[in-house]
């Protein structure tokens, strides 16, 4: 989990994408908010959703796997719901498979 979180944060920082990090380990309110805002169809079959989970305000975007796939397809800005800066590679579709 830590490596995935660092991967997401490193990408956002390197691309100067503003973000707010919510620590769910040290803050029960953040943990409760995340659990309540991950859609039912994106939750694990048992247990609670694990980080990293990405949101744009309160709109759920996806987990690390969805982020990674968007990055591989040069579609991170679309995945994040942001307009890509001029000159960046932008994909127009995000596809992923659910287990």
- pLDDT one-digit tens code per residue, 11-35: 999 999 999 999 998 899 999 999 9
Handedness of CA 46, 1, 19, 86 (dihedral sign): negative
pLDDT at position 89 is 60
User: Tell me: the pLDDT tens digits for 40-71?
Assistant: 999 998 988 999 999 999 999 999 999 999 99
Least confident of 11-20, 68-77, 82-91: 82-91
Provide the phi-psi class of 54: left if phi over 0, else alpha when psi is between -120 and 50, else beta. beta
Q: What domains are defined for the chain?
A: 1-80 (3.40.30.10)
Q: What pLDDT is attached to residue 85?
A: 83
pTM of the entire predicted model: 0.81
């Amino acid at each position: 989990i830590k490596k995935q979180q660092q991967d997401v944060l490193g990408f956002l920082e390197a691309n100067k994408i503003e973000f707010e990090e919510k620590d769910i380990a040290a803050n029960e309110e953040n943990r409760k908010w995340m659990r309540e805002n991950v859609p039912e169809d994106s939750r694990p079959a048992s247990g609670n959703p694990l980080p990293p989970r990405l949101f744009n305000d309160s709109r759920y975007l996806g987990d690390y796997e969805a982020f990674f796939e968007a990055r591989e397809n040069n579609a991170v800005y679309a995945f994040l719901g942001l307009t890509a800066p001029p000159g960046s590679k932008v994909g127009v579709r995000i596809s992923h498979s659910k287990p």
